[in-house]
Chain A
Amino acid sequence: MKKELITLNINGDDYEIAVYPWRTLNEVLRDQLHLTGTKLGCGTGDCGACTVHIDDQSVSSCLTLAVEVEGHKITTIEGLAPQAVANSELENCELNPIQESFVNKGAIQCGFCTPGMIMSSKFLLDHTPNPSEAEIRAGLSGNLCRCTGYNKIVDAIADAAEKI
């Protein structure tokens, strides 16, 4: 079967790629474009590790077909702190305030859930700048963490909300 030639706009850059129509956005990001900040956990929409934004809406990249998001604005975790990605010297790079809060509040252990958590946090704070604890927890309802425990993550988001 034939690959389709498509252009994906990811974090402001256009990528021209050939993809099979059954490839998910998650597969294309990770395996084809090597943007491995976006994780793959369950592959079935349950865990949130693969969360990205399409036109500023948080979605599961594991359930999104790459061919369907041509012409849309795709944002991945790499897009939140572009300088940090380009500049490997962590001292000098500027993180997004949500990332900074996750680091400062100890909301990261193994880090596997973190990109998804942060993309969900961003969607929450974009729409609810001063969330209550209940709203934070509801905003994270689609993201699972196996190690940090959710309290520190909730603290980190409350901390980020104050800064933004």
Chain B
Amino acid sequence: MSLPQFTFLMPTSLSEACSLLEEHQGKIKIKAGGTDMIVRLSHRAVKPDFLMALKKIPDLNQISYSPEAGLNIGALALLREVEISPIVLEQAPMLARAARATATVQIRNMGTVMGNVCNASPSADNIPTLVAMNAVIVASSGDQEREIPIDEFFLGPGRSALQANEIATAIKVPKVAAKTGVSYQKISPRSKVDIAAVNIGAMITLDKANKCEAVRISMGAVGPTPLRAKQAEKYLLGKEITDETLAEAGRLAAEDASPITDVRANREYRKLMVEVLTTRALKEASSLAVNY
């Protein structure tokens, strides 16, 4: 189906883009790669008067790392670029895994990681790992910039903490601490190219005795926003990493999940998969942590 009519805007600076957002509030939509937005336009799920592309804004596609600033993924960095970036593969390989688990080759050549985050779908592939790794979303309103902790970014399906005049410019991921491991686990009805029925991101830090010193677990597709597995996290603190403690953490995570039944999976199956994938993610993350 052809797209509904809109006026197309292609600002060449961040400040210009933010003033356009301000000027056309309520009537304007942002497009990065467009792999969500163009589909929504074509389905008439949105009918903005103005569509604003970010692609001409300079320097938004950069991926960089420094020990002080951590990893910085610019808003226009493509899923494909994150998937193969030597910096990401070195500093946060699970972010590359999550990018690779997203969509198809063509969609990864068009879509951005930031678009996946801002689209705020509860099942988004790139969100759980970013939550587990305690990422921060940098938002700009042209003259002002603020950092939104990812735990505060998601307000509901499709709703984020961005203000109407704000553009998300970068994802900041803090440097991974010593003896820390990360994992991303996903299950979907089809093995490839499918939206997750459940996805889990986990990051665990071990102490000298290989006991759990810190842990963050994020569960996708089991609530209106990505959920933290708070009970499991609390339980694991100070515990030794054994098959038993990891299995218990999985069980507790399933208790915190509030999935629905839909075409991809029913509620009971989702709960069971939260348990399995959480245990699996913690197992992989802790085995990586031992040697990191």
With a 10 A CB-CB cut-off, give which of A4, A45, A142 has the most chain B CB atoms: A45
Cβ of B60 within 8 Å of any chain A Cβ, yes or no, is: no
Q: Encode A69-80 as 1/0 by CB contact (under 8 A) with B.
A: 000000000000
Chain B residues whose C-beta falls within 8 Å of the C-beta of A24 in the assembled complex: 2-3, 38
Verify A45–B105 contact, CB threshold 8 A.
Answer: no
Bound together, the chains give a CA A139 to CA B51 distance in angstroms of: 31
Q: Encode B255-267 as 1/0 by CB contact (under 8 A) with A.
A: 0000000000000
- B5-13, B120-128, B176-184, B233-241: which one contacts chain A? B5-13
Size bracket, chain A contacts = 20 to 34
Among the listed B5, B7, B105, which residue makes an inter-chain contact with A120, where contact means beta carbons less than 8 Å apart?
Answer: B105
* Given contacts A22-B2, A45-B106, A142 and B34 within 8 Å (CB-CB): no
Bound together, the chains give a CA A96 to CA B51 distance in angstroms of: 38
Cβ of B272 within 8 Å of any chain A Cβ, yes or no, is: no
CB within 8 Å of B: which A131-151 residues: 138-139, 141-143
Chain A residues whose C-beta falls within 8 Å of the C-beta of B106 in the assembled complex: 45, 48, 51, 58-60, 120, 142
Among the listed A20, A44, A139, which residue makes an inter-chain contact with B105, where contact means beta carbons less than 8 Å apart?
Answer: A139
Please, how many residues of chain B have a CB less than 8 angstroms from a CB on the other chain?
29
Among the listed B3, B110, B192, which residue makes an inter-chain contact with A22, where contact means beta carbons less than 8 Å apart?
Answer: B3
Verify A59–B34 contact, CB threshold 8 A.
Answer: no
Min CB gap A155→B, angstroms: 19
Cβ of A110 within 8 Å of any chain B Cβ, yes or no, is: no
CB within 8 Å of B: which A24-49 residues: 24, 27, 43-46, 48
Cβ of B55 within 8 Å of any chain A Cβ, yes or no, is: yes
CB within 8 Å of A: which B1-58 residues: 1-8, 10, 34-35, 38-39, 41-43, 51, 53, 55
Chain B residues whose C-beta falls within 8 Å of the C-beta of A44 in the assembled complex: 39, 42-43
Interface residues of A (CB under 8 A from B): 1, 4, 20-24, 27, 43-46, 48, 51, 57-60, 63-65, 67-68, 120, 123-124, 138-139, 141-143
- Name the 8 nearest CB pairs between A and B, nearest first: A142-B104, A21-B8, A22-B3, A57-B109, A142-B106, A63-B38, A60-B106, A141-B193
20 chain-A/chain-B pairs, Cβ below 8 angstroms: A4-B8, A21-B6, A21-B8, A22-B41, A23-B2, A24-B38, A46-B104, A59-B106, A60-B35, A60-B106, A63-B35, A65-B8, A65-B34, A65-B53, A68-B53, A124-B105, A138-B105, A141-B193, A142-B103, A142-B193
